Chains A and B, each alone.
Chain A
Amino acid sequence: MLINEKQLEKENIIIIGMPCAGIIDRKKIYAYLGGADVKQANIENGIINVKGDGFEEKLNVHDFLHDSCLACRYRNPVLCDILVGDEIPEVEPKDEYGKIEQLEEKSSKERWQYFSKELSKCVRCYACRQACPLCYCKICFVDQSFPTWFGKSTNISDTFSFHLVRALHMTGRCVDCGACVRACPNNIDLRMLTKKIEKDIKELFDSEAGISIGENTPLASFSEDDPQDFIG
């Protein structure tokens, strides 16, 4: 993506890639163990061994992978000069948009309530933005003072604006790495916004971010046969 957006020149970098079968979501383990303090952990043959005061458990890695890893189609690097390790078989994600589809079916009032509840947890720390590999603006729109687009406090209306606008800025660009969700100190499920936009982009423009070099993102390019039926 960064190459496509001309942030990096392919000629100037050597990409060392490795296949990734997913990363473990610590918060899922924490939830499963009812909040117990894990003092030691290691992974062997697809099993996570966790140990703490008075408990020892063996967990199946697949059950505790990050949500973005469960939806991942490209476990091998789509682009690299040197591959470390052998390629691993690609897996068709089981339920890529399940949660999104569930939300889509709810009424607009229910969706509003869901997002209000989630986003009321936001303390405006901008960890999501800092962690995101595609948020590279020198001055983010929230930090602009000329003009000041909206307030910086935890006023719910301003918080909504921040997240919605950031999600829109990610349209056609987000690769669903999940860094935003991992960074959030209050466990806000930001992927509900970004994944939904990813789904729409796929359906409307048949486009996926970051798969090949030279592709223009849908919002940065125009073709005469772009779908238009959603324009009122």
Chain B
Amino acid sequence: MKTHLWLLFLKMTLKILLGDLMKTIKKDKIAKLLDFLADKYELFAPTSKDGLVVSFERIKEGKQAKLRFYNSNEAPKKLFFPQSETLFSYSKGGRETVPEPKTEQQRIIFGLKPCDTKSLSLSDKVFDTTDFKDPYHTQKRGNTIIFTLACNRPQSSCFCTALGLGPFLKEGADVFVVDLDDKYLFEPITQRGEDLLKEIPGLEEAAEKDISYAKELAGGVEDKITTKIQLDSLKEKLDKIFDESVWDEIHQKCLGCGVCTYLCPTCHCFEIVDEQVNDKGKRIRIWDSCMYPAFTLEASGHNPKPTGKERMHQRIMHKFNYFVENYDEIACVGCGRCLRNCPACMDITKVIEQINNLK
């Protein structure tokens, strides 16, 4: 009798240690799983209208999700920090202000890549501060459960590993999902991820071979990332080179179009404007870019960053120096959106190499 109980206890402990909480679902059933989630939550998943350009949108049906993709064209930051967001509205000759109603609805984002998931943690450092918590961003973050999808096929423009991240990074996920060819493996990372998995019908226990296959995929994928850059001493280097003529060279090709900042998952600069029609109006927050000349233009006409050179300097410094100084992390996740979309074919990895090579 005692032996029997002991064996049971051992079995349970082993099950937990061996990832008994992990579940799997066959690929042909994923649409139904997503249907289930879409019924109970606001579900966001990668979709594609033309079969190519992927974008994270709200879906009502699981079949709308496109789960085999490199990455979305636009960064999913728009789900937490939309291009235009009303801060409050006002009426009655501008005297009464009415704060925007808070979003109560629970949301799920399914299929976020590890780089984008990490970018959310980075943006938290800006928006979720003790002194001045940003209610719009933090509320959405609190209401959203994230299913991070591991990246089995990094693109040639990806370089997350150079930043100490990786295609199988679980940081920031509530549930970590791995594509095992014929099925998906779900690993709960947080308590609410685990609780949610318990709600979902039709999940199977993960088999040993599933778990080990996932490990195998994780082991082999980092080699697929071919862009390698050194970031160890970059901050120190950047500290010293404000006046160097290298900045003249670096900014020359740049058009100042701002596409890099708009597509970047960690860029968070914004502008606040009032828009009014007759007696009703609202104060809204809209994306802005440090690459625009008017970004720092003062009413007196003075502009502390008058040319593209200062603005390019600002962008690189902010991501690889200032953010590091303030938060001990680089504000870049290596997603490659900036270099894929730059109309002048600028490449931030080449800029970093150029800086690293300075004596």
Scoring B residues 60 to 100 as 1 if CB is less than 8 Å from chain A, else 0, what string do you get? 00000000011001100000000110000000000000000
Q: Which residue of B lies closest to A139 (CB)?
A: B294
Asked if residues A185 and B275 are in contact (CB atoms below 8 Å), the reply is no
Q: How many of chain B's residues have a CB under 8 angstroms from any CB in A?
A: 31
B355 within 8 Å of A (CB atoms): no
Minimum CB–CB distance from A124 to chain B (whole Å) comes to 7
B110 within 8 Å of A (CB atoms): no
Asked if residues B255 and A183 are in contact (CB atoms below 8 Å), the reply is yes
Known: A31-B52, A152-B273. A124 touches B73 (CB 8 A): no
Contacts of B319 in A (CB 8 A): none
B119 within 8 Å of A (CB atoms): no
Number of A-B contacts defined by CB within 8 Å: 79
Minimum CB–CB distance from B299 to chain A (whole Å) comes to 9
Q: Which of B74, B155, B156, B257 meets A131, CB within 8 Å?
A: B257
Q: Which of A30, A155, A183 meets B343, CB within 8 Å?
A: A183
Contacts of A35 in B (CB 8 A): 51-52, 69-70
Contacts of A154 in B (CB 8 A): 83-84, 286
A63 within 8 Å of B (CB atoms): no
B24 within 8 Å of A (CB atoms): no
Scoring A residues 32 to 67 as 1 if CB is less than 8 Å from chain B, else 0, what string do you get? 001101110000000000001100000000000000
Known: A152-B271, A152-B286, A185-B263. A39 touches B257 (CB 8 A): no
Asked if residues A125 and B257 are in contact (CB atoms below 8 Å), the reply is yes
B258 within 8 Å of A (CB atoms): yes
Distance A153 CA – B257 CA, assembled complex (angstroms): 17
Distance A76 CA – B282 CA, assembled complex (angstroms): 52
A interface list, Cβ under 8 A from B: 30-31, 34-35, 37-39, 52-53, 123-127, 130-131, 139, 143, 151-155, 179, 182-183, 185-187
Those 8 A-B pairs whose CB atoms lie nearest each other, nearest first: A153-B84, A127-B257, A183-B343, A130-B257, A125-B262, A127-B259, A130-B255, A151-B275
